[in-house]
Amino acid sequence: MTGKKEQGRRIAVISDTHGLLRPEVIRTVSTCEAVLHAGDVGTPEVLEALRSLAPVWAVRGNVDCDGLLQQLPQERFVTLFGFRIYMVHDKKQISPDQNRTDLVICGHSHRYEDTVCPTGRPEGRGGRHGGVLRHVGPEEERGALRHASPGNDRAANHLVIPGEERGVFRRLNPGSCGPRRFALPVTMMVLTLDEEEHRCAAERVDLISVPEKKNAKKLPTEQETDRLIRKVIREFGAGRTVAQIAAHTRAPEELVEDICRIYVTHPGVDADGIMDRMERKNL
């Protein structure tokens, strides 16, 4: 009697494309049955290209403020192969209503994450929530996912049990697969869902190689980068020079100069906007 063949439905999870759809992403998505995009799509063309490969569910990110992208929901509930999935761009915006889901998918930080969190105590906002909540029922799911695809034998190492039974949910962030931000990795995620046994394997996909440097400094967090940009803007507005700001913040003078240049040439831009423009230099 032969052993049971490993089975599963491959779901591509991506975020923060910022208008760039890499060939490596296209190749991976072409092996999957569906795509979940956690926001900051960047351009409608990205969604159009993805939809030519597989059904797509996406949410609106902080840069998706024009045209068709503005119509994307801020958050949404999706049911895929027996898994209840909640999507929102920024984990700070996680709704308390998500606490009966199996998986929470977010983006924004450009950092890959796979974390188990307690239900009823989301890390995001409390109380009322905004945006459009949309539940995709089983009939629509079956209609959208008609085409089967090959299974995957790699990195099957995680188990998901329904949230209300364990009091936990699993929060996933695929990282960014768009323009590279500073020295952060460029990544996406592939989920393999086993509906029968309710198992979920998450595979990290590194899209470009990042050589390790000896004695490399620890990368700043999203919050640290945000604080630095805001501090640079304040000091620049107070009349200090780039050299003075660099000395006071202990940041590289070249980085401070880039922040100040973007701030001057893009009136009204905020810290997120400055980071978005800086990362486009690192394609």
pLDDT, one tens digit per residue, over 43-82 is 999 999 999 999 999 999 989 988 899 999 999 999 999 9
| pLDDT in the model for residue 152 | 33
| pLDDT in the model for residue 210 | 63
The C-alpha angle 178, 122, 13, rounded to 5 degrees, equals: 25
Top-confidence residue, 278 or 21 = 21
Closest CA to 100 of 47, 164, 168, 172: 164
3-state secondary structure 154-206: CCCCCECCCHHHHCEEEEEEECCCCCCCCCCCCEEEEEEEECCCCEEEEEEEE
> Does the pLDDT at position 154 exceed 70?
no
User: E strands within the chain?
Assistant: 9-14, 34-37, 56-58, 75-80, 83-88, 103-105, 112-118, 135-136, 168-174, 187-194, 199-206
Q: What is the pLDDT of residues 125-134, one digit of tens each?
A: 443 333 333 3
Record the pTM.
Answer: 0.68
What's the whole-number average pLDDT of the chain? 79
Q: Which of these ranges, 165-169, 172-176, 179-183, 184-188, has the smallest mean pLDDT? A: 165-169
And the tokens for 102? 């199996």
| pLDDT in the model for residue 240 | 92
* Banded pLDDT at 213 (limits 50, 70, 90): low
Name residues whose C-beta falls within 8 Å of residue 188's C-beta, 6 or more positions apart in sequence.
Answer: 12, 13, 14, 25, 28, 174, 175, 177, 205, 207
Q: Which of these ranges, 74-83, 100-109, 273-282, has the smallest mean pLDDT? A: 273-282
